[in-house]
Structure 1
């Protein structure tokens, strides 16, 4: 009896363990759809524009992929400033025009540019030019000799022009002119470069003047003019004369390594009564070996006689043409009066200085152009 109860208890336990709950009946409207995959976020693409390109490059490297122009006036140690016009060409060339304000000096320099990240180097074998730093795409900052940005209240910036501007390559020139069978050459005193002269309308008056003066025939004569270099159809560089000024008989190219003489040099007046003369007047003169002097005072040509011995100077018999020029006549009168009043002339370094009672009246430098 006891055995039968035990078997019955075991049977009931096994039956309880083997019974599974009935599956839950879920209505169709309660069936949940599977979770959707995460959606991909589409980045908004901003189209290229001047603004986006500037932002992209202002903080990275600079790329010069078009011809561009920069202009501005940079400080100068001994003049009011240097006007710059710098053209960078996408093929790696550059051209720059430097104009020294109130000094009459204009340099046209060509070469290749090198870009080191944001530093711009202008390379020319004859001239040393400053390096610049791209502050941004539209501005160049001049660097010092150590290659560092210049910290100053003065403006050392060149700004990019909106449009590319062709360089003005005209400049005053001084050199040796020689004519043979209507073919002329001009050798620049400053560089020694010899150029064939194109037979243009502005060259004809110069050619006739040379042919009519017996002193000039078969001789190279110092001349001053305004001209520009240009390649012809054959690729030859020639000189195009824009304006002929005058010949300077018995003059020579100035020798920067042998200063000390006043004769035979075309002198350009730099300062009058301590102030720079306006560059556009281009006041020049020469003391020749025959005790004669002549020159151009900004409006009129003049000539006279002089005596120079042991630095003592005496100018006499000064005569000039009588044109009136509203922008130069006052300066011209002051210059000619000071020239006649001078009692002493000294060459100090590359400067010719005229004094009256130890007071400096006029300061000249050899005309190189």
Structure 2
């Protein structure tokens, strides 16, 4: 058999083998035996800030939608700072910071910058904290060196399910004046001037102003709770609650005040005890040797005499309402006023003394 014939025979056999179909058996097929494969288990870590941070390292943080973050951050001399941060995808932010039990609310707007997971909030007038995205649902505040703060206290803000509007109401102190049928209010802290909306909450204030001959036609310091409008109403002030007028008072200066009279003073401490700011304990020493104010529950008025640093307060009279939450503090405040024998303005504080010991400290009311 020559080689050419041998190769032809081999090719023919291979073609038959490849094209032939196996014969079907008439007997039923038995089920195949399944052999279990042992799979090694992966230990699952419980969800925590550590696991979220590790996961975040492998993903990018995008602020591609408007979002709100809310939490209560620590405060050195108050129960906490209620913090509400809104981040907008167009690069803007809004913040509301409320110092609890201080009646001090700060509203700030500006622009944000995101570097990897570090969030910078930029505003020319205010120094704001820096945050880091622990996950896309949580921010943690960083220290001055840009590192997470190691503490048992809460330094986190958590994202809400939906964007929540910033509550822009806040206590305000400023110059109120009526000209014809319109009223204006100039904020003492910023110098901004706004038209006052003629709403139902403005009516008691307007009526009080027009009926008092020492107020009508004059620019007078007033305290109130209000909010500024948005959009077309951005130059409008909406009053939520009118507090009172302070005839004889002026806006506090940015520099340390030099005189006792002419400013609305807020009681900050009586002896070593802080006075809750929401009680609005305030006093105004007028340049005609009279004084008046609010002691937390009742209004009061009286007279004073000041020579150099010596101070004598007399003829103090009050209304007779009872307020359970402030009656004890009110008694301490009025008693300290009458016990004071010396007054000094030190820095931004007015200190009242008795026998060379500080018995009360007051600061210019900013709102």
TM-score scaled to structure 1, two decimals? Answer: 0.83
Task: Specify which of 253, 263, 278 is matched with residue 261 of structure 2.
Answer: 263
* 1:318 maps onto 2:309 in alignment: no
Given that 1:256 and 1:350 are in contact with CA atoms closer than 8 Å, whether structure 2 keeps it comes out as no
More displaced, 137-146 or 313-322? 137-146
Residues 1-369 of structure 1 aligned to structure 2 (within 5 Å): 23=9, 26=13, 30-31=17-18, 59-231=58-230, 234-369=232-367
Structure 1 gaps, min length 5: 1-14, 34-52
Change over 3 Å in CA distance of 1:27–1:81 after alignment to 2: closer
Q: CA RMSD in A?
A: 2.7
C-alpha displacement of 1:339: 1.4
Given that 2:311 and 2:343 are in contact with CA atoms closer than 8 Å, whether structure 1 keeps it comes out as yes
Summarize deviations over 1:222-251 as a string: whole Å, max 9, x none.
01011000136x444200011111111111
Q: How many residues align?
A: 335
Q: Distance in 2 between matches of 1:198 and 1:17?
A: 112
C-alpha displacement of 1:137: 0.9
Q: Distance in 2 between matches of 1:107 and 1:148?
A: 25
Q: Give the aligned partner of residue 12 of structure 1.
A: none
Q: Distance in 1 between matches of 2:347 and 2:3?
A: 122
Q: Give the aligned partner of residue 44 of structure 1.
A: none
C-alpha displacement of 1:207: 1.0
C-alpha displacement of 1:62: 1.2
Summarize deviations over 1:39-78 as a string: whole Å, max 9, x none.
xxxxxxxxxxxxxx99975633211122211112222334
Q: Distance in 1 between matches of 2:219 and 2:4?
A: 130
Given that 2:267 and 2:282 are in contact with CA atoms closer than 8 Å, whether structure 1 keeps it comes out as yes
Given that 1:202 and 1:243 are in contact with CA atoms closer than 8 Å, whether structure 2 keeps it comes out as yes
TM-score scaled to structure 2, two decimals? Answer: 0.83
C-alpha displacement of 1:116: 1.8
C-alpha displacement of 1:30: 4.7
Q: Distance in 2 between matches of 1:161 and 1:297?
A: 39
More displaced, 239-248 or 84-93? 84-93
Given that 1:69 and 1:163 are in contact with CA atoms closer than 8 Å, whether structure 2 keeps it comes out as yes
Given that 1:103 and 1:270 are in contact with CA atoms closer than 8 Å, whether structure 2 keeps it comes out as no
Summarize deviations over 1:3-34 as a string: whole Å, max 9, x none.
xxxxxxxxxxxx9999969946849885489x
